């Protein structure tokens, strides 16, 4: 039986491990023993390790046929480098912010296959974009996506399926979009518009920097990604931002200057994942406070909504194509929709590699996989078998 090691036992990492355990021998690795304990009833082996420490990663993945990296974004780049250096195939959903272009040559050198950004968005959205592009005549691509709680509890009307610092990163990083053939940088959280979704109601869409690799891999004139939230949420976030709650700069309190964290030791987590004692910045305090407000607790009902649009020129006419995905919390498995949609897209990527449907060495983003019809259809079938499908 093939052996798969899942690095990271957070909400999505656990969903990935549970799904893969139906077919493979799975080991879940994390520093958080409480998270690991949740996997033992499913026959999943667990291992406690500090995944910021390369030797501990190497030890954990030593006998793996394939590795899944489901660590937080700030740990993603270093983690995947260690995995590649150990000549392991890998599927990554850490969504690390650094440029990933160099990883292709690295994976080629070690003769392994790496899929990165293989979640829901980026991930499933990229797969669809790539598939649309492969059909020809694409003029415009758009992704609107969000994960939201069913209960709209004020003031934030939001629960975070990921660590709050990764959510805040979406709110603070300027958004790159394509307009008229050029990459244009828009202010984070700008471009707000209200959009109605049947069965959900009116949501607010705003620019976020989610196109990532698509800016380089799909050469079309107009393309954008927008995040969805309940109306009013973004105004509250903008207020916190303007007041300095997301600042990473030094802060003086009662004559005491709190220095920022230097580049080498910069951590984006206060949850104990780093294993180090860190200096504190305003954004760290905000993250700690918001974790209590935004924590998605077991049993909390939520949903993931994603609308994908393309405009293609067919026989001289512009034709619009739209796909909508709506997935809800599953009370039977106890898995959130964001865990399901992100995690099962990831396990579809694992299936492509393990079953030999994709075996080229190198590092590949989802849109490149989506351009291959057989691979794209395999992912859709994999998701539909788990109750996730487009309308």
pLDDT at residue number 277: 42
pTM above 0.85, yes or no: yes
- Reported as half-sphere exposure (CB side, CA atoms, 13 A), residue 389 has a value of 9
Is the same domain home to 144 and 264? yes
Residues 320 and 205 occupy one common structural domain: yes
Mean pLDDT estimate for the chain: 91
User: Would you state the pLDDT for residue 30?
Assistant: 97
Alpha-carbon gap, residue 50 to 153, rounded angstroms: 35
Residue 29 and residue 155 share a domain? no
Residue 61's domain is classified under what CATH number? Answer: 3.40.50.720
When pLDDT is averaged across residues 76-103 and rounded to a whole number, the result is: 94
Asked if 272 contacts 32 with a C-beta cutoff of 8 angstroms, the reply is yes
Q: Is residue 348 one of the residues assigned to a domain?
A: yes
Residues 268 and 309 in one domain: yes
**Are the beta carbons of 382 and 388 closer than 8 angstroms?**
no
Domain boundary among 280, 308, 328: 328
Q: How confident is the model at residue 252 (pLDDT cuts 50, 70, 90)?
A: confident
| Amino acid 3: pLDDT | 97
Closest CA to 342 of 145, 195, 177, 208: 145
b or e along 349-371 (b: 16 or more beta carbons within 10 Å of the residue's beta carbon)? Answer: bbbbbbeeebeeebbbbbbbbbb
The reported pLDDT for the residue numbered 274 is: 39
Give dist(CA 228, CA 18) in Å, integer: 28
DSSP 42: G
CATH number at residue 151: 3.30.360.10
Mean pLDDT across 111-140: 97
| Structural domain boundaries enclosing 178 | 124-328
Mind listing the pLDDT tens digit for each residue in 271-323?
333 344 446 788 888 888 888 888 888 888 999 999 999 999 999 999 999 99
Phi, psi torsion values for 385, nearest 5 degrees: -65, -15
Q: What is the pLDDT of residue 302?
A: 95
Instruction: Kindly state whether residues 152 and 228 are assigned to the same domain.
Output: yes
pLDDT digits (tens, 9 = 90+) for 175-232: 999 999 999 999 999 999 999 999 899 999 999 999 999 999 999 999 999 999 999 9
Residue 48 has a CB neighbour count (10 Å cut-off) of 13
């Amino acid at each position: 039986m093939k052996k798969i090691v899942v690095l990271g036992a957070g909400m999505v990492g656990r969903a990935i491990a549970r799904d893969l355990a139906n077919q493979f021998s799975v080991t879940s690795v994390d520093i958080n023993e409480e998270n690991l304990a949740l996997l033992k009833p499913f026959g999943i082996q667990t291992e406690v390790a500090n995944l910021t420490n390369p030797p501990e990663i190497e030890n954990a993945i030593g006998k793996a046929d394939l590795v899944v990296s489901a660590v937080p974004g700030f740990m993603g780049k270093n983690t995947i480098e260690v995995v590649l250096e150990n000549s392991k195939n890998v599927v990554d959903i850490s969504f690390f912010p650094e440029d990933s272009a160099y990883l292709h040559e690295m994976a080629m050198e070690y003769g392994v296959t790496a899929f990165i950004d293989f979640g829901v968005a980026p991930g499933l959205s990229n797969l669809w974009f790539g598939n649309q592009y492969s059909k020809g005549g694409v003029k415009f691509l758009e992704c609107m996506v969000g994960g939201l709680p069913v209960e709209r509890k004020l003031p934030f009307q939001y629960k975070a399926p990921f660590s709050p610092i990764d959510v805040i990163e979406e709110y603070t990083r300027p958004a790159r979009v394509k307009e008229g053939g050029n990459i244009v940088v828009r202010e984070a959280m700008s471009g707000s518009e209200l959009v109605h979704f049947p069965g959900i109601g009116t949501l607010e869409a705003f620019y976020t920097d989610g196109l990532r690799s698509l800016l380089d891999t799909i050469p079309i004139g107009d393309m954008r990604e927008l995040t969805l939230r309940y109306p009013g949420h973004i105004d509250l976030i903008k207020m916190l931002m303007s007041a300095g709650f997301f600042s990473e700069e030094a802060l003086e309190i009662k004559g005491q200057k709190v220095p920022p964290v230097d580049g080498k030791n910069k951590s984006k987590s206060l949850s104990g994942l780093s294993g180090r004692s860190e200096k504190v910045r305003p954004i760290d305090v905000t993250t700690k406070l918001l974790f209590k407000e935004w924590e998605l607790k077991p049993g909390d009902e939520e949903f993931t909504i994603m609308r994908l649009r393309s405009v293609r020129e067919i026989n001289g006419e512009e034709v619009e194509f739209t796909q909508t995905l709506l997935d809800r919390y599953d009370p039977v498995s106890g898995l959130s929709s964001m865990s399901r949609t992100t995690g099962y897209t990831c396990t579809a990527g694992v299936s492509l590699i393990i079953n030999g449907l994709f075996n080229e060495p190198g590092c590949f983003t989802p849109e490149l996989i989506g351009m291959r019809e057989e691979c794209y259809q395999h992912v859709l079938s994999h998701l539909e078998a788990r109750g996730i499908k487009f309308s």
